Amino acid sequence: MRYVVTGAAGFIGSNLAETLTAAGHEVVGVDCFTDYYDPAEKEENARGLDVRRLDLAEDELDLDGVDGVFHLAAQAGVRSFGDVFPVYVRRNLLATHRVLEAAAAAGVRVVFASSSSVYGEAESYPTHEDATPQPISPYGITKLGCEQLARAYAVGFGLDAVALRYFTVYGPRQRPDMFFRRVCDALLEGGSFEIYGTGDQSRSFTEVGDAVAATIAAMERAPAGAVYNVGGGDEASMLEAIALLERISGRTLDVSHVGAAKGDVRRTKADVSRICEALGWEARTSLSDGLTRMWSWASGRVAAGRAPTNPAARRRPPSTPKRSRRSISAATGA
């Protein structure tokens, strides 16, 4: 099959593109290498992949001869209040609108990366897909908006779209602003770690290999219009997860607490019965095995002289690039 993967230089997208390529598919990656975190990391992620530099919010996406689009490009991160909101609107809503337009016109299936953030402080746990979405971050609102946009294109133009609500994905190449990555980097630097809030907040952590398997299964077998939770089986609090990483690494951290971040929910816990029944998918990787793999990746980068990153470069406020219009066929690989 010939697939387009958007966000292919990012954390989940690069893992997905690699797995699809290894399975014998032809993969065209698309990414504009935003500077939300160090673009050098994205270059590293994209090595060996065919990733074309396109800004989906303005460049043309030509889907001729494509069998499916995995749409993962986005501005991620729940700390999305304030001045950065227009960037979330652009990279999530406007970019997704253009992807959906192109896919509807070409009659191509889209598997879209949504988020557990659409649930906000969920009305019940484990949270089923039918729970009322009530996001508490602008990011979650844009993700819910993208889901609804896909639904409108399905009703109006017969678009074949599937939405996956990922629950906190971790593993090799995790974004440097994300919790486990920050813990790994702090352990590697031998320093201290600031945790937002009490550390009792908990997550359904999902190993990236499991998330990739669910994403491919959705493209291959999900009915049109499906919405699925993609969540790992192990729920852990932030403090429990730090203790686990300390055991795995054989190092300790000096943990201090700073105020809870706006937009961060207290708990996520996925009900995955729907995707399990429909696609036979469930997470296979225990948190302990997944964190061992992630630690090995993170410490391997340090051994190779590549990380941890300069803390200032770890999370940059999103900025809007000024670029000229291009199309997928004219774009160069990276």
CB 160 within 8 A of CB 219: no
By CB under 6 A, which span of 26-34, 212-220, 286-294, 295-303 interacts with ligand NAD? 26-34
# chain residues binding ligand NAD, by CB under 6 A: 30
Distant-in-sequence, close-in-space partners of 57: CB < 8 Å, separation ≥ 6: 90, 91, 94, 95, 98
**Residue 215 sits in the site that holds ligand NAD (CB under 6 A):** no
By CB under 6 A, which span of 19-27, 67-75, 231-239, 269-277 interacts with ligand NAD? 67-75
CB 117 within 8 A of CB 146: no
CA–CA separation, 215 vs 163, rounded Å?
9
User: In the set 42, 52, 109, 301, which binds ligand NAD (CB under 6 A)?
Assistant: 42
Per-residue mark of binding to ligand NAD, 295-334 (x: CB under 6 A): ----------------------------------------
**Residue 269 sits in the site that holds ligand NAD (CB under 6 A):** no
**Residue 172 sits in the site that holds ligand NAD (CB under 6 A):** no
CA–CA separation, 194 vs 196, rounded Å?
7
Sign of the four-CA dihedral 182, 188, 194, 195 = positive
By CB under 6 A, which span of 52-60, 103-111, 279-287, 297-305 interacts with ligand NAD? 52-60
CA–CA separation, 312 vs 314, rounded Å?
6
Question: What is the Cβ-side half-sphere exposure of residue 319, based on CA atoms within 13 angstroms?
Answer: 10
CA–CA separation, 74 vs 89, rounded Å?
10
**Residue 283 sits in the site that holds ligand NAD (CB under 6 A):** no
**Residue 293 sits in the site that holds ligand NAD (CB under 6 A):** no
φ and ψ of 15, to 5 deg: -65, -40
User: In the set 27, 73, 102, 272, which binds ligand NAD (CB under 6 A)?
Assistant: 73
CA–CA separation, 254 vs 235, rounded Å?
23
**Residue 169 sits in the site that holds ligand NAD (CB under 6 A):** yes
By CB under 6 A, which span of 4-12, 236-244, 278-286, 291-299 interacts with ligand NAD? 4-12
Distant-in-sequence, close-in-space partners of 47: CB < 8 Å, separation ≥ 6: none
| 332: DSSP letter | P
DSSP letters spanning 74-132: ----S---GGGHHHHIIIIIIHHHHHHHHHHHHT-EEEEEEEGGGGSS-SSSSBPTTSP
User: In the set 168, 229, 249, 268, which binds ligand NAD (CB under 6 A)?
Assistant: 168
Look up 119 and say whether it is catalytic: no
By CB under 6 A, which span of 31-39, 194-202, 301-309, 326-334 interacts with ligand NAD? 31-39
Residue 12, SS3? helix
CB of residue 156 vs ligand NAD: minimum separation in angstroms? 23
Is the CB of 57 or the CB of 150 nearer to ligand NAD?
Answer: 57
CA–CA separation, 84 vs 92, rounded Å?
12
Is the CB of 167 or the CB of 295 nearer to ligand NAD?
Answer: 167
CB of residue 190 vs ligand NAD: minimum separation in angstroms? 26
User: In the set 4, 5, 28, 55, which binds ligand NAD (CB under 6 A)?
Assistant: 55
User: In the set 3, 11, 88, 180, which binds ligand NAD (CB under 6 A)?
Assistant: 11
- Residue 126, preceding peptide bond in cis (omega within 30° of 0): yes
Which of the following is catalytic: 3, 88, 119, 139? 139
Residue 245's Cα: distance from chain center in Å? 21
Q: Please give the helix or strand (H or E) that residue 15 lies within, else none.
A: helix 11-22
- Active-site amino acid positions: 139
Residues engaged in binding ligand NAD (CB under 6 A): 7, 9-13, 30-34, 36, 42, 54-57, 72-76, 91, 95, 113, 115, 166, 168-169, 175
